[in-house]
Amino acid sequence: MSVRETLAGSPDVRRTNLAVLLRHLHLDGAMRRAELTDRSGLTRSTVAGLVGELGRLGAVEQTAASTTSTAGTPTRGRPSPVVRPCPLGVQVLAAEVRVDQVEVALVGLGGTVLHRDSRPLPDPSPEPTADLVARSVADLAHAAPGRVLGLGVAVPGVTRHRDGAVRFAPNLSWRDVSFGRMLSDRLPGTDVRVVNDGDAGVLAEHLRGVARGCDDVVFVEGEVGVGSGVVVDGKPLVGAGGYAGELGHIAVAGLGGRRCRCGSDGCWETEIGLDAVARALGLGPDASRRAVVDALRTAGDEEVRRLEPVARHLGAGLATVVNIFNPSLVVLGGLLRELYPCVAAEVRRTMVRGALAAPVEQVRLALPELGDDAVLLGAAEAVWQRVLLDPVAALGG
């Protein structure tokens, strides 16, 4: 008899067990109650009781099992009902602030995107941005079919873990913006969590994307700047204040590099960000993201040759990442999804040359499975993670 089972009747253990079951359902979707029993190591009757409680909280539903298994063969004995998360029962709001637009979504339990909207951000200064985010998510919340448990917002900046203050977002020109409080003021009663965009991206890819099952993952997203997030031993890298994992400002070009918006020289983001790619392609400094993506998708030999310096800086930064984190997977998101396939050989050559042999032979480079949704889904997960810690408290059961 397991420790967990022995105390299944005590209120604390019951809450913990509810959380365990809900986590399985949120991350892996519908499954037979028998499988939940196997995974949790609890007894059948305990699981039946807990699933009933999650049903009363509106989080899951059970459907009578058919007498054939999912593989179509007849099952033996009494068939086990199928339990599934209820995306229409409980939801969270998610937002992603980009340099020129705001993405918002209503995400149901299980990670289902129920609604999604993209709005242009003509003025990215803090007050108008907070207004636009608050207005957009309020519209979604108004139309939500179930209970809305909170709002997760991803921003392209250095964000304090404790209160969601954005300490520095060079590409929005923000410095010390109490963005979490600004949103809470506009959305009374809503639990707001503000997170770094790279941290959101790695969380989503780790829980639901290409990095599933990998314990040591680095996510690098190239846009105007370079966002990044790291999972170490299965957990997000946070640091003393929540600022860890900022890879955009590692030095890759030495003292001769370009001046970065952070004040230093030769940072990774000045050498592989949107401007650097546009410059390499000869598109001029004001090229839109759209134009750069189109040029990358249609790149021929001449363009690939012109991208070589960018590829080398991407590889050099990856070498540092590999030496420091010894990750099993590096996920290349944002603009790098388009750039990397063009110049993969040169990137890998530079990375292998610059990194130590032992860690570089363990690393795989991959594109995000969630595509452009990684950051938005990760912002939602920042709220779900809190809900899953104690579903009874979050759902008011």
**Residues at the site binding a copy of itself, with contacts judged by CB under 8 A:** 3, 6-7, 12-13, 158, 160, 167-168, 215-216, 232-233, 235, 237-247, 249-257, 262-264, 266, 316, 319-320, 323-328, 353-359, 362-363
Task: Please say whether the beta carbons of 89 and 104 come within 8 A.
Answer: no
Nearer to a copy of itself by C-beta: 338 or 346? 346
Nearer to a copy of itself by C-beta: 97 or 106? 97
Least gap, CB of 343 to a copy of itself (angstroms): 18
Half-sphere CA count of 232, side-chain side, radius 13 A: 12
Least gap, CB of 28 to a copy of itself (angstroms): 24
Tokens for 220, please give them. Answer: 């690098």
Tokens for 389, please give them. Answer: 């810690």
Nearer to a copy of itself by C-beta: 137 or 230? 230
Least gap, CB of 314 to a copy of itself (angstroms): 13
Nearer to a copy of itself by C-beta: 87 or 225? 225
Nearer to a copy of itself by C-beta: 143 or 356? 356
Longest dimension (CA), the chain: 73
DSSP class of residue 367? -
Instruction: Tell me the C-alpha distance between 201 and 230, whole Å.
Output: 9
Tokens for 243, please give them. Answer: 């600022």
Nearer to a copy of itself by C-beta: 128 or 239? 239
Helix (H) or strand (E) holding 119: strand 112-120
Least gap, CB of 115 to a copy of itself (angstroms): 34
The residue behind tokens 């809305």 is 148
Half-sphere CA count of 187, side-chain side, radius 13 A: 30
236 CB-near residues (< 8 Å, 6+ apart): 199, 202, 203, 229, 230, 245
Least gap, CB of 66 to a copy of itself (angstroms): 40
Least gap, CB of 197 to a copy of itself (angstroms): 15
Least gap, CB of 257 to a copy of itself (angstroms): 7
Alpha helices in 175-232 (DSSP H): 179-186, 197-208
Instruction: Tell me the C-alpha distance between 394 and 148, whole Å.
Output: 10
Number of H helices, E strands in the chain: 16, 16
The residue behind tokens 């019951």 is 14
Least gap, CB of 244 to a copy of itself (angstroms): 4
Question: What is the three-class DSSP state of 199?
Answer: helix
Task: Please say whether the beta carbons of 345 and 383 come within 8 A.
Answer: no
Tokens for 74, please give them. Answer: 């007849």
Q: Residue 31 CB: number of other CB atoms within 10 A? A: 17
Least gap, CB of 39 to a copy of itself (angstroms): 21
